[in-house]
């Protein structure tokens, strides 16, 4: 049985993660609590990126330099932009989205 080739989206994510780990994270240095709310927008073809606490601002700045590119977004310190699911909060279950 042959394996399926990764989808375009999976490949984009893999390449963006590689850029983040290899190029972006080392430049950030030690992360403080304020860094974990920031968003990284990555242009995968060039490795160019923007970081901001507002994902729209990060994308707008990157879009000025790469008007037709597709961006990959993630939060600093985590491979995800958003997480959804259950979270136990002070003994009660919270069903809201987690950031």
pLDDT digits (tens, 9 = 90+) for 22-39: 999 999 888 888 888 899
**Is 27 inside any structural domain?**
yes
pLDDT digits (tens, 9 = 90+) for 80-94: 787 665 554 544 444
pLDDT at position 33 is 86
| pLDDT of 41 over the 50 cut | yes
Domain count across the chain: 1
**Is 1 inside any structural domain?**
no
| pLDDT of 48 over the 60 cut | yes
| pLDDT of 4 over the 50 cut | no
**Is 75 inside any structural domain?**
yes
**Is 69 inside any structural domain?**
yes
**Is 60 inside any structural domain?**
yes
The reply to whether the predicted model has a pTM over 0.85 is no
DSSP structural state of residue 2: P
pLDDT at position 1 is 41
pLDDT at position 74 is 92
pLDDT at position 93 is 45
Q: How many CA atoms lie within 13 A of 11 on its CB side?
A: 7
**Is 3 inside any structural domain?**
no
What is the sign of the dihedral through the CA atoms of 85, 88, 89 and 91?
positive
């Amino acid at each position: 049985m042959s394996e399926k080739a990764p989808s375009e989206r999976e490949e984009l994510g893999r390449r963006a993660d590689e850029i983040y780990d290899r190029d972006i994270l080392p430049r950030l240095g030690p992360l403080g609590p304020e860094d974990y709310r920031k968003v990284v927008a990555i242009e995968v073809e060039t490795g160019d990126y923007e970081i901001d606490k507002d994902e729209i601002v990060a994308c707008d700045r990157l879009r000025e330099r790469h008007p037709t590119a597709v961006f990959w977004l993630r939060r600093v310190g985590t491979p995800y932009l958003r997480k959804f699911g259950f979270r136990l909060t002070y003994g009660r279950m919270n069903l809201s989205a987690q950031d």
